[in-house]
């Protein structure tokens, strides 16, 4: 089984890591580099607080340049006491020091890659990998697509951009068990939201084991 966390919130360090270590469960944490390194809130959190979910949905359909302008206009710095903030670089290094945790890439700014020209995709993807490797002093091998649905949130060319940037594998959010053969740059995942109860989680794990012999 692979447990993954996206974005790079402080709660992964403070709440998830102790549980992972207590039970010996390995995890991958896909980090959006710029919020962590600058201390800014994630753009979708800021926009949601200001204008609601509909505004976030609209922003996700904007051309990349328009989205960047909006993102920069609403950028706010997270307070140290903010419970819903990104990790700091120091906290990221603490998380990366755990033998159970592998840090992966999640772009620099968390755009919808479908609406980004290829050059901007390269910057977002390669820039994230470079920044994270410099921050933690370890290679970054894996990647997770922001938002992550095949066709809806990235382009057909995007997996090859990720491969060219030096990553070995990439994860989507397409809900599926992993088949015997899978494109290593489009590995599906189940998104586990707060609405998933213990019974549903147990069902998914048992069904995954019987269907594939593995779980993810």
Radius of gyration of the chain (CA): 17
DSSP string, 138-171: S---EEE-SS--TTTSS-TTHHHHHHHTT-SEEE
**How would residue 84 be classed by pLDDT, with cut points 50, 70 and 90?**
confident
CA 11/CA 86 separation, integer angstroms:
8
Task: Provide the residue ranges of all domains of the chain, joining segments of one domain with +.
Answer: 3-212
Q: Is 119 helix (H, G, I), strand (E, B) or coil?
A: helix
In angstroms, how far is CA 125 from the centroid of its own chain?
Answer: 12
Q: How much is the average pLDDT of 66-91?
A: 90
Residues contacting 78, CB < 8 A, separation 6+: 35, 39, 40, 41, 85, 86
Percent helix, strand, coil in the chain, to 5, is 45, 10, 40
Q: What is the pLDDT of residues 31-67, one digit of tens each?
A: 999 999 999 999 999 999 999 999 999 999 999 999 9
List pLDDT tens digits, range 154-213. Answer: 999 999 999 999 999 999 998 887 777 889 999 999 887 666 677 766 766 666 555 544
Helix (H, G, I), strand (E, B) or coil at 96: helix
Q: How far apart are CA 142 and CA 97, in angstroms?
A: 17
Superfamily designation of domain 3-212 = Glycoside hydrolase/deacetylase (3.20.20.370)
Condensed to tens digits (0 to 9), the pLDDT of residues 130-143 reads: 999 999 999 999 99
Q: So what's the pLDDT on residue 214?
A: 44
Report pTM: 0.90
């Amino acid at each position: 089984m692979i447990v993954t966390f996206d974005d790079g919130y402080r709660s992964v360090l403070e709440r998830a890591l102790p549980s992972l270590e207590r039970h010996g469960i390995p995890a991958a944490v896909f980090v959006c580099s710029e919020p962590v390194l600058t201390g800014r809130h994630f753009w979708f959190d800021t926009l949601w607080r200001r204008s609601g979910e509909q505004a976030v949905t609209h922003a996700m359909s904007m051309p990349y340049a328009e989205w960047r302008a909006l993102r920069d206009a609403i950028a706010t710095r997270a307070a140290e006491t903010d419970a819903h903030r990104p990790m700091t670089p120091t906290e990221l290094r603490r998380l990366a020091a755990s033998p159970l945790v592998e840090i992966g890439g999640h772009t620099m700014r968390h755009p919808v890659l479908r609406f980004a020209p290829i050059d901007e995709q390269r910057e977002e993807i390669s820039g994230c990998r470079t920044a994270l490797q410099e921050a933690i002093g370890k290679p970054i091998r894996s990647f997770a697509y922001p938002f992550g649905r095949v066709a809806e949130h990235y382009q057909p060319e995007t997996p090859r951009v990720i491969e060219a940037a030096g990553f070995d594998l990439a994860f989507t959010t397409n809900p599926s068990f992993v088949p015997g053969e899978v494109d290593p740059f489009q590995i599906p995942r189940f998104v586990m939201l707060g609405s998933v109860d213990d019974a549903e989680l147990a069902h998914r794990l048992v069904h995954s084991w019987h269907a594939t012999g593995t779980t993810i």
